Structure 1
Amino acid sequence: MTFMETLRGWLGAPERRDYQPPVTMTTLGVGVPCEPANPYLAENLAVVLAAVNILSGTMAALPVIVYTRRQGERIEQPDHWLQKLVRGGPNSQQVWGGLIESAVASVELHGNALVEIERDENGSVNGLRFIPWPWVTAQLLSTGRMAFDVYEPQMPAMGARKRRLLAADVIHLKDRSDDGLIGRSRLSRARETLRAATAQQTFATAFLERGAQPSGVLEVPGVMTQEQRTTLREAFKSRHGGADNAGSTLVLDGGISWKSAQISPEDAELLASRRFSVEEIARVFGVPPPLVGDLSHGTFTNSREAARWFGQFSLTPRVRRIEAELNRALFGPGSRYEIEFDMSDLLRSDPETRWASHKIAVEAGILDPDEIRQIEGWNKRKVEAAKTPVEGEQAA
């Protein structure tokens, strides 16, 4: 039985001429299905994913230097055990960049990240292992120290393995904290901003699923029962709802008429609102919009400036916090060792600025050409040994 035959069967004779007030059936939209502060669902927003990726990926690519200070000079320690973990990997599952990327992303999404310090029987550090923050429950002990209970998932039949790590056993990275103990994510601080962006995306998805057609009203002469209303709604949805049915021909009889009852996305300024949400969320993460793909106001010049702005104001505060926590957790106060993320590598994508700064450094006597070559990853220039006169020859 076709859709029209079904309608004719229960609507009765369409020739009735006595006036009956119309019964309207509105095609409803959908609401916001998720809590935007949930980090996994928030990453469904492309701008959140892009911001987290650019921050975590860039920091993961920064070279790491371990050095000591002696008589005011900084001396690199390429054979330090931490440099070996950087080169060979902090654990059997991750390289160093993967560990930093996971930890930074966890800080941006959850407000906290936990890295376990693995030690041998002598107490020496032999590995670092990232622990997902959803596995962790933090507690403040009566001694004033922090403890982290880790519930590590096992096989389904075995449940979760619980173990306790003390502050000395972990590297605890955190975003800005309200109590000094546990960080609070930017997602939770900007809940309403993310809620609006999530609602806009949900509306856009539902609009496309309805075949990119605005919702409206079916007007039917006469009074309908609840069963007839449900049948009409479901029959109309199955025939004309969804993107697969976009553009299908609408044929109505029996006095049924269709009237559009919803403003279009253009009238609702949906596209402009979504662009503004991109800018808002970029502000939340402190990332210039061109770096998360918003080039609506971008030019070549201000995109270059945005990259510098990103290094100075977005990355530097985060990098300095990570350096301080790594130094505290791995070396302790009073240690002669320090760790540093070399941010000068960020200039490698701007050769004009990089070589201009090299030239100034050489002319001012700050660096020599061989030091410049070392910065660029080249070997020192080979200097031929001075030719000594052989016996019997007269020196020039």
Structure 2
Amino acid sequence: MKILRFFEKFIHSRDKPKNELSGTLQYYFGRSAAGQTVNQRTAMQVTAVYACVRILAESIAGLPLHVYRYKDKGKEMVADHPLYPLLHDEPNPEMTSFIFRETLMGHLLLYGNAYAQIIRDGYGRVKWLYPLMPDRMDVQRDEGEQLVYTYTRYLDEFGGKQRYEEVKLRPDQVLHIPGLGYDGLIGYSPIAMAKNAIGVSMAAEEFGSTFFANGATPSGLLEHPGVVKDPEKLRQSWHAQFSGKNSHNVAVLEEGMTYKPMSVPPNDAQFLETRKFQIDEIARIFRVPPHMVGDLDKSSFSNIEQQSLEFVKYTLNPWVIRWEQAMHKALLLPGEKQHYFIKFNVDGLLRGDYQSRMNGYAIGRQNGWLSANDIREMENLNPISEEEGGNLYLINGNMTKLKDAGLFANKQQAIQNGGNND
């Protein structure tokens, strides 16, 4: 009986999951082990982070996005669907589709979540989409175990009073694209999860800035054979004359003083190697090929195209699927979900170079599974008419069935003729 009650309690708890990572606690921004404060803004000041976020955000924003309808044989684009102009052109009167998707993808990469408010008309159809800041969103469950999105809206962001109000939104009023997370409700920030790696890069950059601000001259000590009456005055005088822009001035040492550098030179401290490794480390966080952020050491003409294709397959494709499924879930009406779907077109990124495409088209054309119009559509060319053979599927004339080939066919024919004569 106790075992039965235990399982009943367990099943009951599974029916009512709780969000343990609500609010801004989900991001875990703060000071890294290297002593740097890492958050979404300071991280974007690291060039490798900025490059990775920009590459992924612009890639998603630049992909063609269309609404399709299922057909008996295949699919067709539906340009007259109400969602089509929103997703393809203008999600709201203030921004284009590119800017909207670029903004949301940036939020997804920095915060681990992307939110947009859905404005619907009287028929429940989507009218506008507006981005929402992820750090102002709190996801919880109400007493009926339904998700509630609470957004903090500042009424006077540029004033001194900082007045605000909390707006509660239903799930059908929010387009939510979560990244990788613990509970399936919200994602956690890649920046927060990798703050120590990013902090090392920030610390190395700060060290380099300080070093060159002092004219690339390491600190040291002045040795005096006697007793210095006012060492602080001597230190300030030396610093004023031989630091910063004056670091290369010629020093004249009096009274037998000598100068000895104390700091370890950057080459000995592997300063450059550390900065270079951190580029690869940050690229690894976002799964971006190093050559796309300017590191060409391991890239060549023979493998850079393959790396670009792998970027589409293994980096962009998971993000594309997250976007497509989130939009299908939130934007299509319940009665439309079995008949329509939303899809990015990544074919253009997978086409390869011109020669490879032409060779592939030739093989498809000669083997009968591509027509002239199929090829022209993939190359973004206008179709040719039916009379000109645009939709004909051809096969190579020297290919035939085994039973119809050469001596084998003659022998089979002779056997059949002999049998008929009998």
Identify the TM-score tier after normalising by the shorter chain: 0.7 to 0.9
Aligned equivalent of 2:350:
347
Distance change >3 Å, CA 70–CA 40, structure 1 → 2: same
Distance in 1 separating the partners of 2:147 and 2:252: 69
- 1:153-192 equivalences under 5 Å are 153-155=154-156, 156=159, 159-192=163-196
Distance in 2 separating the partners of 1:140 and 1:249: 70
TM-score (norm: length of structure 1):
0.82
SS at match of 2:128: strand
- 363-372 vs 153-162, which moves further: 153-162
1:299-346 alpha-carbon deviations (Å, 9 max, x no partner): 111211110110111111111111111101111564311001010011
Q: Does the CA contact (< 8 Å) of 1:154 and 1:161 recur in 2?
A: yes
User: Does residue 1:238 correspond to 2:244, yes or no?
Assistant: no
Give the drift of 1:384.
Answer: 6.9
Distance change >3 Å, CA 88–CA 280, structure 1 → 2: closer
Q: Does the CA contact (< 8 Å) of 1:114 and 1:130 recur in 2?
A: yes
TM-score (norm: length of structure 2):
0.77
Distance in 2 separating the partners of 1:290 and 1:196: 21
Give the one of 217, 220, 225 matched to 2:221.
Answer: 217
SS at match of 1:93: coil
Aligned equivalent of 1:8:
none
Aligned-pair Cα RMSD in Å: 2.4
Ranges in structure 2 where 5+ consecutive residues have no aligned partner: 1-32, 389-422
1:124-176 alpha-carbon deviations (Å, 9 max, x no partner): 21111111222323333333333222223333156234322222211111211
Q: Does the CA contact (< 8 Å) of 1:150 and 1:162 recur in 2?
A: yes
Aligned equivalent of 2:362:
359
User: Does residue 1:193 correspond to 2:197, yes or no?
Assistant: yes
- 1:1-396 equivalences under 5 Å are 34-36=36-38, 38-155=39-156, 156=159, 159-221=163-225, 228-242=230-244, 244-331=245-332, 334-347=337-350, 350-382=353-385
Ranges in structure 1 where 5+ consecutive residues have no aligned partner: 1-30, 386-396
- Pairs aligned (count): 352
Distance change >3 Å, CA 72–CA 210, structure 1 → 2: same
Distance in 1 separating the partners of 2:279 and 2:155: 39
Distance change >3 Å, CA 221–CA 115, structure 1 → 2: farther
Give the drift of 1:254.
Answer: 4.3
Give the drift of 1:373.
Answer: 1.5
| Greater relative contact order, per chain length (Cα 8 Å cut-off, separation 6+) | 1
SS at match of 1:248: coil
1:190-215 alpha-carbon deviations (Å, 9 max, x no partner): 22211221111111111111111122
Distance in 2 separating the partners of 1:237 and 1:137: 52
SS at match of 2:36: coil
Distance in 1 separating the partners of 2:236 and 2:171: 59
